[in-house]
């Protein structure tokens, strides 16, 4: 089974979608897909569907949703063109003593591929291979087609997983931009960072990266304006001042002078690594 969660939920067997349209079975599939090839306890599924006030019929109703998923899986398995014995729906969506498990049998998973590529990117960053890091992290981020689990009704567990996934995406994005800055691609980043700082109004690292990209592009006054806008947002929304790391970036730009652009691509990026 192939699974995608970095955008709209999609699970496919033999290329046929087994993703239900009904909200509750969709939630069940989403939680099983996030933990593919691992047992998801019944208690976790019940909590996801009904929170801390499940109905008396919760376990029976959950079994009904599992049966509905197996019907979709059976229909997809029946379209396997290969001769020979086929897996059954119960072998794909497995019942265990404590819960249920989605058995992918080695199928593709966009989460696993994202983690693999991002890990390669992080290791390349640590080794000083900024070109390799930017390339791998760009590949990882390209797997995202929208917000994680788009179109899925979420309870407490799925919402926590969604936030975790979005945080991993943002971390990879930060690192990819850092790698691009170290490679001197500041002008190429301006458009992207303009959108990002508008979306993440209090994210210090992105604002610091935007400041550096603007300054290196000869737009010192705009870089300093970015700092002031961020400071206003932080004070108004969170009651906080900018971190010491971001203040160092501001001072570096102030001391560099209106006409000065750092010669080395790494200048300032090292200060950004200490933001927060």
pLDDT of residue 85: 74
Round to whole Å and give the CA distance between 175 and 147: 19
Round to whole Å and give the CA distance between 235 and 231: 6
Round to whole Å and give the CA distance between 205 and 203: 6
- Final residue of a structural domain among 102, 124, 144: 102
Q: Which domain holds residue 72?
A: 2-102
What mean pLDDT is reported for the chain?
91
| Model pTM above 0.85 | yes
Q: How many structural domains compose the chain?
A: 2
- Final residue of a structural domain among 102, 137, 164: 102
171 in a structural domain: no
Residues 6+ apart with CB under 8 A from 275: 204, 205, 208, 243, 245, 246, 249
49 in a structural domain: yes
User: For residue 101, what is the enclosing H or E element?
Assistant: strand 99-102
Round to whole Å and give the CA distance between 11 and 108: 10
- Final residue of a structural domain among 66, 87, 102: 102
pLDDT of residue 269: 52
Q: Residue 239's Cα: distance from chain center in Å?
A: 28
145 in a structural domain: no
Phi-psi category of residue 240: left, alpha or beta, with phi > 0 → left and psi -120 to 50 → alpha: beta
Round to whole Å and give the CA distance between 150 and 110: 14
pLDDT of residue 138: 98
231 in a structural domain: yes
Cross-strand partners of 257: none
208 and 275 Cβ atoms separated by less than 8 Å: yes
Flag residues of the chain having pLDDT under 50.
259-267, 276
pLDDT of residue 275: 53
Closest Cα to residue 231, out of 215, 247, 219, 255?
247
Residues 6+ apart with CB under 8 A from 255: none
20 in a structural domain: yes
Using CA atoms, how far residue 104 sits from 36, 89, 188, 244, 275, in Å, is 7, 12, 40, 47, 41
């Amino acid at each position: 089974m192939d699974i995608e969660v970095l955008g709209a939920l999609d699970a496919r067997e033999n290329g046929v979608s087994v993703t239900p349209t009904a909200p509750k079975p969709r939630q069940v599939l989403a939680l099983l897909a996030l933990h593919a090839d691992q047992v998801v306890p019944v208690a976790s599924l019940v909590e996801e569907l009904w929170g801390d006030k499940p109905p008396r019929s919760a376990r029976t109703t959950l079994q009904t949703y599992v049966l509905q998923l197996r019907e979709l899986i059976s229909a997809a398995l029946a379209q396997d063109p290969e001769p020979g014995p086929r897996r059954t729906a119960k072998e794909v969506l497995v019942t265990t003593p404590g819960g249920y498990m989605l058995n992918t049998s080695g199928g593709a998973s966009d989460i696993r591929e994202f983690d693999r590529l991002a890990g390669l990117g992080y290791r390349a960053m640590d080794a000083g291979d900024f070109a390799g890091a930017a390339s791998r992290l760009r590949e990882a981020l390209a797997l995202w087609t929208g917000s994680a689990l788009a179109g899925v009704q979420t309870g407490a567990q799925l919402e926590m997983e969604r936030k975790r996934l979005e945080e991993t995406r943002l971390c990879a994005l930060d690192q990819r931009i850092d790698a691009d800055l170290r490679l001197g691609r500041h002008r190429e980043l301006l458009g992207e960072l303009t959108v990002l700082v508008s979306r993440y109004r209090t994210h210090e690292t992105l604002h610091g990266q935007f400041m550096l990209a603007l300054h290196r592009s000869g737009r010192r006054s705009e870089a300093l304006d970015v700092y002031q806008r961020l400071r206003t947002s932080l004070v108004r929304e969170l009651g906080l001042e900018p971190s010491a790391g971001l203040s160092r970036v501001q001072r570096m730009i102030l001391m560099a002078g209106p006409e000065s652009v750092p010669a080395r691509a790494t200048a300032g990026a090292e200060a950004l690594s200490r933001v927060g």
